[in-house]
Structure 1
Amino acid sequence: MGVTIKQINAFVAIAKSRSFAEASGQLHLSQPALSIAIKNLEEVLGGSLFTRSTRTLELTPEGKVFLPVAQRLLDDLDHAMEDISNLFSLKQGTLSMAAMPFFAASILPDILVSYQSQHPNISIRLHDIVNELVIEEVRSGRVEIGLCFHSGKDEDLEFTPLFSEEFMALLSVDHPLADRDEVNWVDLFNYPFLTLLQPSSIQDTVKKVAKKLDLTFSPYIETHQLSTVGYMIASGLGVGIVPQSCHEQMIKTGAICKKLVNPVISEQVGIIHRKRHALSSAAFSMKHQIIKHYQKDIPLNNDNI
């Protein structure tokens, strides 16, 4: 039989008050129940903690050694209970999440401002990484939620759709296709193509369209950063595609975006998290905040399944 919190509380109360009667009143326990708790504790520990007489109650040498240990155990428990309560009530904690860089730059700032105003003591660790790594980080449990494209093949992940993201052609302002309102994929493939290095959902999209149209795709330049692609295209090095939400970011690089047609390509963007794993209060609140931002009538629950 192990030591119980009730026994530790009883021991500390008696040791401080030097009275079973007074400790009994403090703990709202009868004196017989208090005596049994101390007897059981002494049996577990293997010796007496108090020396008793008709008039005095003193700690044994072992009891004196055990008192600060017992008090520390109770203090640690109180602190742990307070910390857990604060996590549930969102008074403290850390949320780890992931998002593709262009979504992190264009979508999340307004959402995070609102979240911070409601939960100022929750710190956020944001991994701004490519789509495939967002999925990997969520699947591994290193982050709780991710914002990414829907892969359609991750059965172990819960996907909550938010919006549909259309891809646009990225050109320099003086490009031969720049005066058009719409750009055909076939025309776009006539020019050097700039894209992100693999793994990249953008490059995967280009490859799928090229295969569908029976066109050859051979990237001219591949980089890690979409902003680098934008600056290079603005300099006249070629063409590319970007999600529509990157429009403002690309304009800042000096490039321009045009509607991309024949075919029009779009992907669903949403929130992912692991199935059969409950979200922390901080992550659940963030998910709700993101959905609220897009005014989606999506039922929320935080079940394990």
Structure 2
Amino acid sequence: MSINFDLNDLQAFRAVVENGSFRKAADAIRITQPALSRRIEKLESALNVKLFERTTRKVSLTTVGLAFLPQVERMLDDLDIALMSISEVASTRMGHVTIACVPSAAYYFMPQVISAFHRLYPRIKVRVLDASANEVNSAVALGEADFGVSFSGTLASEVDFELLLQERYVVACRRDHPLAEREQVSWEEMYEYDYISLDKTSGNRMVLDQALLRSPAKKPSICETRHVTTMIGLVEAGLGVAAVPSIAMPAAGHPILVSVPLIEPEVLRNVGLIKRRGRTLTPAAIELEQLVRQMPARSAGH
């Protein structure tokens, strides 16, 4: 049998498997849908087998296609790993990596990580899905993101969690606020001042509600937001104080904002990598994941 197919045909095959449709696969590898169909037809003709079952609603692998998939993934991954290890070639690699990340972690992790990754692989695009913990969890579980950075909590059964760092909650306030000079502040003391809180859709709100069952606020917040980064902006504008994860705070030396550790109780949050169980990351995604792991743990109180 004459094997008359090439690398592009194998990449087209994997793209259809990963995206579940010819249209999405064509978009992912940046060719037209007819061109993609021709590559699949060429591959099926060369192998003399049918790889996909196609209906008006979905595309699924045949039994032969399922058996062929691991071999294709191994070949493409081995080739990518070989190419990524050659610095001259690595700088010309193209493609994209998608990471889902809760906004507070994105603020801490992503600028340095993306900068380092771009220096290594300037032609590989990084997409950051900055979203709530539930949305990050869903994006990873559904395969919309290669992996995610979030905090432990209610995780889907399809994903695994790997701890990166443990951080504490702090009170964010302006330097001219009465709490700014304190070494630590109790939750009860913080609640004596005007404060900003998170709404019930926030994953952080769930963490705090569970931890503060015995330390409820004695008065309502003056404002609710969905994201921690918005809260910090409101604190900077002088609306009040806010309890936030330490990694969401600007680095020490910020001209307006300071953070003070919260106690009684001390509330901790576990931040880590989440990945869909059984998913094999592309070499580019593995490189990005390693850079995330290498981020030094910034001290909780700065």
- TM bin, normalised by shorter chain, reads 0.5 to 0.7
Distance 2:4 2:213 in 1: 72
Q: Give secondary structure in 2 for the equivalent of 1:171.
A: strand
Specify the code of the residue in structure 2 equivalent to 1:163: L
* Structure that is richer in helix per residue: 1
Match of 1:266 in 2: 268
Shift of 1:241: 1.1
Match of 1:208 in 2: 210
Distance 2:198 2:251 in 1: 16
Q: Map 1:291-302 to 2 at 5 A.
A: 291-294=293-296
**Is contact 1:102-1:245 (8 Å) kept?**
yes
Match of 2:148 in 1: 146
Q: Map 1:135-174 to 2 at 5 A.
A: 135-151=137-153, 153-174=155-176
Shift of 1:265: 1.3
The correspondence for 1:284, drawn from 283, 286, 291, is 286
Shift of 1:271: 0.7
Specify the code of the residue in structure 1 equivalent to 2:266: V
Is 1:109 aligned with 2:122?
no
Match of 1:95 in 2: 97
Q: Map 1:3-14 to 2 at 5 A.
A: 5-6=2-3
Shift of 1:273: 0.8
What runs of 5+ residues in structure 2 fail to find an aligned partner? Answer: 6-37, 47-71, 85-92, 298-302
Q: Give secondary structure in 2 for the equivalent of 1:212.
A: coil
Specify the code of the residue in structure 1 equivalent to 2:137: I
> Relative to 1, partners in 2 of residues 1:227 and 1:158: Cα closer, same or farther, differing over 3 Å?
closer
**Is contact 1:210-1:217 (8 Å) kept?**
no
Distance 1:100 1:128 in 2: 5
Runs of 4+ in 1 over 6 A off after TM superposition: none
What runs of 5+ residues in structure 1 fail to find an aligned partner? Answer: 9-68, 296-305
> Relative to 1, partners in 2 of residues 1:208 and 1:189: Cα closer, same or farther, differing over 3 Å?
farther
> Relative to 1, partners in 2 of residues 1:187 and 1:278: Cα closer, same or farther, differing over 3 Å?
same
Distance 1:252 1:198 in 2: 29
Match of 2:177 in 1: 175
Distance 1:102 1:276 in 2: 27
Is 1:231 aligned with 2:233?
yes
Match of 1:39 in 2: none
Output the TM-score relative to the length of structure 2: 0.64
Rg larger in 1 or in 2?
1
Distance 2:134 2:109 in 1: 18
**Is contact 2:137-2:155 (8 Å) kept?**
no
1:182-235 deviations in Å (ceiling 9; x for gaps): 100111122333133342122223322331325457332112443432232234
Is 1:275 aligned with 2:265?
no
**Is contact 2:114-2:126 (8 Å) kept?**
no
> Relative to 1, partners in 2 of residues 1:225 and 1:73: Cα closer, same or farther, differing over 3 Å?
same
Matched positions, count? 228
> Relative to 1, partners in 2 of residues 1:269 and 1:286: Cα closer, same or farther, differing over 3 Å?
same
The correspondence for 1:130, drawn from 129, 132, 144, is 132
Distance 2:4 2:186 in 1: 78
Distance 1:213 1:108 in 2: 34
Output the TM-score relative to the length of structure 1: 0.63
